[in-house]
């Protein structure tokens, strides 16, 4: 029995065995990531919970617009090395016209890219910021939050840890809840269930958190 967190570790576990049961948690599309062939019928020895963080981009855009309705253009910070970047950007760009918003996309894949990314979004007149769903941005949450505050950019993230680091707000799956869902599957498999018979689950609880200590500008 193996439990993994994240797509990379899930892929490694799947490549290592076709017999040991695996339960994953991932923010990626598990079909596109090559973990399962179907959400309803995962097949093989692997199943789990997918957060589908990239598909919530349009909801984050709407929430940020509600918080600061006069802010436009809105910058979207993405990691060009993330395979879900294109889907997330498309989701946000398609939702923007109905809200009367313009989207500016800036990219950063390593720490040294952040200054250039902020310089680019400021040059293009961005007045608010959506931070894309990516573990790199989570690791750089303090640096990004400081830059956003320095330039008076209201911002929205994926999880509460970024808000605790100084971000303004977040919207995304409740991560402890996701791991509880995965834990239930681990228990069922230990009692005899087969991963192939357990559909990949989606989150059942979501967090909308606003940092009252962060200026709304």
What is the pLDDT, as a whole number, of residue 55? 75
pLDDT for 10 equals 93
Instruction: Tell me: pLDDT of 153 over 60.
Output: yes
What is the reported pLDDT for 6?
83
pTM above 0.85, yes or no: yes
**CA-CA distances (angstroms) from residue 103 to 44, 94, 98?**
41, 10, 12
Does residue 40 have a pLDDT over 80? Answer: yes
What is the chain written as a DSSP string? -EEEESHHHHHHHHHH-SSS-EEEEESS-TTTTTS-S-SS---TTEEEEE--GGGGHHHHHHHHHHHSTT--SEEEEE-TT-TTHHHHHHHHHHHTGGGT--EEEEE-SSGGGHHHHHHHHHHTT--EEEE-S-HHHHHTHHHHHHHHHHTT--EEESSHHHHHTT-SEEEEE-HHHHHHHHHHHHHHHHTT--GGGSPPB--S-EEEEE-TTS---
54-172 shares the fold of 2-52+174-205: yes
> What's the pLDDT score for residue 92?
96
Q: Does the structural domain 54-172 have CATH classification 3.40.50.2300?
A: yes
- Round to whole Å and give the CA distance between 139 and 156: 16
Token digits of residue 177: 């809840």
pLDDT at 131 over 90: yes
Work out the average pLDDT over 122-131. Answer: 97
Say if CB 125 and CB 73 are below 8 A apart: yes
Separation CA 179–CA 37 (nearest Å): 22
Rounded mean pLDDT, 161-189 = 95
Q: Which CATH architecture has domain 2-52+174-205?
A: 3-Layer(aba) Sandwich (3.40)
Tokens at 106, concatenated: 């800036």
- pLDDT, position 52: 76
Residue 73: cis peptide before it, omega within 30 degrees of 0: yes
Question: Using 50, 70 and 90 to split pLDDT, how confident is the model at 33?
Answer: confident
Query: What residues does each domain of the chain span?
Result: 2-52+174-205, 54-172
For residues 82 and 78, give the distance between their C-alpha atoms in angstroms, rounded to a whole number: 8
């Amino acid at each position: 029995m193996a439990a993994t967190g994240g797509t990379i570790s899930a892929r490694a576990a799947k490549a290592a065995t076709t017999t040991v049961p695996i339960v994953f948690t991932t923010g990626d599309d598990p079909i596109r990531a090559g973990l399962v062939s179907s959400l309803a019928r995962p097949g093989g020895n692997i199943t789990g919970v997918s957060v589908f963080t990239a598909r919530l981009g349009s909801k984050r855009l709407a929430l940020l617009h509600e918080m600061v309705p006069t802010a436009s253009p809105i910058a979207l910070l993405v990691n060009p090395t993330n395979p879900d970047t294109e889907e997330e950007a498309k989701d946000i760009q398609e939702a923007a016209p109905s809200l009367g918003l313009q989207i500016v996309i800036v990219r950063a894949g390593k720490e040294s890219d952040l200054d250039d990314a902020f310089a680019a979004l400021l040059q293009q007149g961005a007045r608010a910021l959506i931070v894309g769903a990516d573990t790199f941005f989570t690791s750089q949450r303090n640096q990004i939050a400081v830059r956003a505050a320095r330039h008076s950019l209201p911002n929205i993230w994926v999880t509460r840890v970024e808000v605790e680091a100084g971000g303004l707000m977040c919207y995304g799956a409740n991560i402890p809840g996701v791991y509880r869902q995965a834990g239930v599957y681990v228990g069922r498999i230990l009692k005899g269930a087969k991963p192939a018979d357990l559909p990949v689950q989606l989150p059942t609880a979501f967090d909308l958190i606003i940092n009252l200590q962060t200026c709304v500008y």
